[in-house]
Homo-oligomer: A and B are copies of this chain.
Amino acid sequence: MGDLSEPASNVGAGGAVIAPSQEQVVTPWDVKGGSDGKIDYAKLSREFGCSSLKTDDRDLVARIEQLTGKPAHCFLRRGFFYAHRDLEAILDAKERGEPFYLYTGRGPSSEALHLGHLVPFIFTKWLQEVFDVPLVIQITDDEKTLFRALELEEAYRLGKENIKDIIACGFNPDKTFIFSDFDYVKGEFYRNVIRIQRSVTMNSIRSLMGMTQEDNIGKIAFPAVQAAPCFPTSFPHIFGTRKDVRCLIPCAIDQDPYFRMTRDVAPKLGYFKPALVESRFFPALQGESGKMSASDPTSAIFVTDTDKQIKTKINKYAFSGGCATIDEHREKGANLEVDVSIQYLRFFLDDDAELKDIEERYKRGDLLTGEVKARLIEVLQAVVGKHREERAKITDAVVQQFTAERPMTSYIDAFSHKQVQEQVVAKGKVKNKK
């Protein structure tokens, strides 16, 4: 899976999807804002055909709270995850007591993760916790070999390092299976890859993702490898031969084309369409139009940064929405929508009351940028410090625990297979069974 929140530009699949230069472009490998450098997220989800989590007559965030009995994660409350496909079908299944599972992933293109990489995993961890469901995490070391000038051995090594950072997010070891494609593509998984590849033409890959004839054949075929984890039979050690387990994918919205393709194919193969809950992109320190890049250490806070580095980076690089002089700032206040410190606090300061207080005082000019940054530095030092602490505990034995192909049926077994099967078939939700 591509980086879930920091799509790299110019590494991608050619230019067939290219729009006029002032139009925004979002593919799994290329994200360009519109003429103001910003992404119009409403337009994006409209064009992709996703639905909003909150509309006038429907609030899925409230429904999640009601179903789980837990307050929504701040990424949901604050609209960072804002779009979805078929999330209602997942919530309906939950309500009926039917099984589903989560699927997310990472393309291992860098040694250390930055906060943007962490965000989808933090959210997925929360989803796993409140729904108490199995989770599969795909490390697409094969994708990074195909799409980047990265040797296979290096992509594999980076993946193994990244797995430790992912585990440090706190996933449930009894319900989480993390796999490198180079280790796991085989058997039932490979069979699903072939079934998917057989159902997708080069033409549709071109129009969905902008592949061209100049691309290598691995790039062209890879989307099927990212699609295969959407189908439960790709994990026989978890789901056996069951085809009727739904899949929910938390991801950044640039990954949507992969799963639009998968959703087209799923019914033909007798599977449920995967559901999605989709996020905006995590901003670079330089602001929304900037690009976070693992190769530019000034663009992001890394989980390997020291307290001192965090302090320096925020003070030096975090784009300020405050005014140029103190006097002007006291008079006019800050522009919160471009201020990166406020954006970052919205992610990592869970306390709604404190956040609201900071926003209001900053907006009025009562708080200076330096003061907001000081609070952000504290918050991020705590987040990164906690991660550092957890990461240090991840031994090879722990990695082995998460990556072993082991039975994970306690959840699924809680349901009478036959009963669920009948319910589902009666509702006509699984068609074209072979």
The segment out of A114-122, A202-210, A326-334 that lies at the interface is: A202-210
Tell me how far the C-beta of A42 lies from the nearest C-beta in chain B, rounded to whole angstroms. 32
Q: Are A201 and B214 in contact (CB under 8 A)?
A: yes
How many chain copies does the complex carry? Answer: 2
**Distance in angstroms between the alpha carbons of A229 and B200 in the assembled complex:** 26
Q: Could you give, for residues 167-207 of chain A, a 1 whenever the CB lies within 8 Å of some chain B CB and a 0 otherwise?
A: 00000000000000011011100110011011111110110
Tell me how far the C-beta of A230 lies from the nearest C-beta in chain B, rounded to whole angstroms. 16
Q: Does A37 contact B (CB under 8 A)?
A: no
The segment out of A145-153, A293-301, A404-412 that lies at the interface is: A145-153
**Distance in angstroms between the alpha carbons of A200 and B146 in the assembled complex:** 11
Known: A186-B190, A190-B182, A191-B152. A146 touches B216 (CB 8 A): no
From B142, B186, B213, give the contact of A194 (CB < 8 A).
Answer: B142
With a cutoff of 8 Å between Cβ atoms, the chain B residues found around residue A146 in the complex are 194, 197-198
Q: Does A11 contact B (CB under 8 A)?
A: no
Main secondary structure of the interface of A (DSSP, over half): helix
**Distance in angstroms between the alpha carbons of A105 and B217 in the assembled complex:** 22
Q: Could you give, for residues 206-240 of chain A, a 1 whenever the CB lies within 8 Å of some chain B CB and a 0 otherwise?
A: 10000111111110110110000000000000000
**Distance in angstroms between the alpha carbons of A197 and B203 in the assembled complex:** 19
Known: A151-B434, A152-B191, A186-B190. A201 touches B215 (CB 8 A): yes
With a cutoff of 8 Å between Cβ atoms, the chain B residues found around residue A152 in the complex are 191, 194-195
Tell me how far the C-beta of A261 lies from the nearest C-beta in chain B, rounded to whole angstroms. 10
Tell me how far the C-beta of A136 lies from the nearest C-beta in chain B, rounded to whole angstroms. 17
Q: Could you give, for residues 106-128 of chain A, a 1 whenever the CB lies within 8 Å of some chain B CB and a 0 otherwise?
A: 00000000000000000000000
Query: A residues near B, CB below 8 A?
Result: 142, 145-146, 151-152, 182-183, 185-187, 190-191, 194-195, 197-203, 205-206, 211-218, 220-221, 223-224, 434
Q: Which 9 A-B pairs have the closest CB atoms?
A: A197-B218, A186-B186, A221-B221, A202-B213, A203-B213, A217-B221, A197-B217, A142-B194, A198-B218
Known: A182-B191, A197-B216. 20 other contacts (CB 8 A): A145-B194, A146-B197, A146-B198, A151-B434, A182-B187, A186-B186, A194-B218, A197-B217, A198-B216, A198-B218, A201-B213, A201-B215, A202-B213, A202-B216, A202-B217, A203-B214, A205-B217, A217-B221, A217-B224, A220-B221
A-B contact pairs, 18 of them (CB 8 A): A145-B195, A145-B198, A146-B198, A151-B434, A152-B194, A182-B191, A185-B190, A186-B186, A198-B218, A199-B216, A200-B217, A201-B213, A201-B214, A202-B202, A202-B217, A203-B213, A205-B217, A220-B220
